[in-house]
Amino acid sequence: MRIPCPYCGPRDSSEFAYHGDAAPRRPAVGNAAAMADYVYLRANPAGPMEELWYHAQGCRSWLVVTRDTRDHAISNARLAATRSPA
Amino acid sequence: MADPVSDWTHRGGFAGLSRRIGSGEGLKAVERAGLAAATVIARRGKAADAATALGRMLGAPVVDGGKRTSGGDVTVLGTGPGTWLVFGDRPALVADLTAALDGLAAVVDQSDANAILDLSGPRLVDVLEKGLRLDLHPAAFAADDVAVTAIAHVGVTLWMSDDRATVTLAIPRSLAGSLLHWLEASARPVGLTVEAD
Ligand SMILES: [Zn+2]
């Protein structure tokens, strides 16, 4: 699998570290139920999914990669730093 | 009185590792020792301003991207968003960068952190493709492109000369022996010459 890094171009997935689902955003302190969902609850979709990948052996950027979990087709990759704050 | 620190002489990461394997003809590796180096990391929201300041220092425009820009004795390599690795053949490189980028970026001296190898020869690409997961064809890799990647688990910053005849690798200097081990094994069929002080 090759991941199209917005800075480096297409690179072998072995250069990246996988973090997981990009959707959960850390909730405010004090809401135990929301924190439990943030830590444990995942949708696990069969289809396109936004994920966090770290380009550890390249530009050292966190990316948000849209990958289809059924066939690994990647439709988008952007720098996580361009996301709006939680 | 002699200064016990500044009188230390620079010793390249490949010092003492010169060798000739087989015909020695296919690939030539020459260490470039003694260059000053620094990383430049732009402060939040200052990447464009830092690139402009670097360009002013070089007398040639610098972009925030994986590109090489040379000006005088200084070479600026884009290694990540808002991040550059700078080499220069001058003792004052770090001081000059710090002055040029005041308030725009963090400048950290890396002069003793890297070992730099110039690779050339008739079998250059044939050897590199055994460890480099990059397409170096002109259609995919421009002469002024810079890549940060890995060869045999060794992190490398890679760029090439304007005529594409020389590919240069900068690696962590303590891994010079590891990279050389890969280079020897990969270049053995075509012959390898390593020149270092
Ligand atoms: Zn990258």
Within an 8 Å CB–CB cutoff, is residue B79 touching chain A? yes
Query: In this predicted model, what pLDDT tens digit does every residue of B154-197 receive, in sequence order?
Result: 999 999 999 999 999 999 999 999 999 999 999 999 999 999 98
List Cβ<8 Å contacts ≥24 apart for B153-162.
B153/B178, B154/B178, B154/B179, B154/B182, B155/A57, B157/B77, B157/B79, B157/B85, B158/B132, B158/B134, B159/B68, B159/B75, B159/B77, B160/B136
Hey, which residues 48-77 in chain B have their CB within 8 Å of chain A? 65-66
Give the distance from CA B140 to its chain's centroid: 20
Q: Could A11 and B66 be called an inter-chain contact, meaning their C-beta atoms sit closer than 8 Å?
A: no
Mean pLDDT over the full length of chain B: 95
- Quote the pLDDT of residue B9: 74
Query: In this predicted model, what pLDDT tens digit does every residue of B8-48 receive, in sequence order?
Result: 677 899 999 999 999 999 999 999 999 999 999 999 999 99
In terms of Cα–Cα distance, which of B97, B21, B20 is closest to B53? B97
- Quote the pLDDT of residue B4: 62
Contact list, A57 vs chain B (CB under 8 Å): 148-150, 155
Return d(Cα B115, Cα B162) in angstroms, integer: 21
User: Is position A52 within any domain?
Assistant: yes
Output the pTM of the full model.
0.93
Chain A interface, mutation test: which of B85, B149, B157, B175, most A Cβ atoms within 10 Å?
A: B149
Chain B interface, mutation test: which of A8, A13, A16, A83, most B Cβ atoms within 10 Å?
A: A8
Fold classified for B19-33+113-195: Gyrase A; domain 2 (3.30.1360)
**Residue found under tokens 């070479």:** B75
Residue B7 has pLDDT above 80, yes or no: no
User: Is position A37 within any domain?
Assistant: no
Total domain count, chain A: 1
Within an 8 Å CB–CB cutoff, is residue B142 touching chain A? no
Q: Is B186 helix (H, G, I), strand (E, B) or coil?
A: helix
| Phi, psi dihedrals of residue B153, rounded to the nearest 5° | 70, 0
Hey, which residues 154-183 in chain B have their CB within 8 Å of chain A? 155
User: Is position A74 within any domain?
Assistant: yes
Mention the CATH class of domain B36-109. alpha beta
Q: Is B3 helix (H, G, I), strand (E, B) or coil?
A: coil
> Which CATH number do you get for residue A13?
3.30.2270.10
Over residues B146-160, mean pLDDT? 97
Q: Quick one: which H or E segment has residue A19? A: strand A17-21
**Residue found under tokens 């012959």:** B191
Task: Say how many Å lie between the CA of residue B64 and the centre of ligand 1.
Answer: 13
Considering only CA atoms, give the Rg of chain B: 17
| Domain interval for residue A56 | 2-23+42-82
- Quote the pLDDT of residue A85: 73
Q: Judge if B19-33+113-195 and B36-109 fold alike in CATH terms.
A: no
Domain range list for chain B: 19-33+113-195, 36-109
As a whole-number percent, the residues of chain B with pLDDT over 90 amount to 93
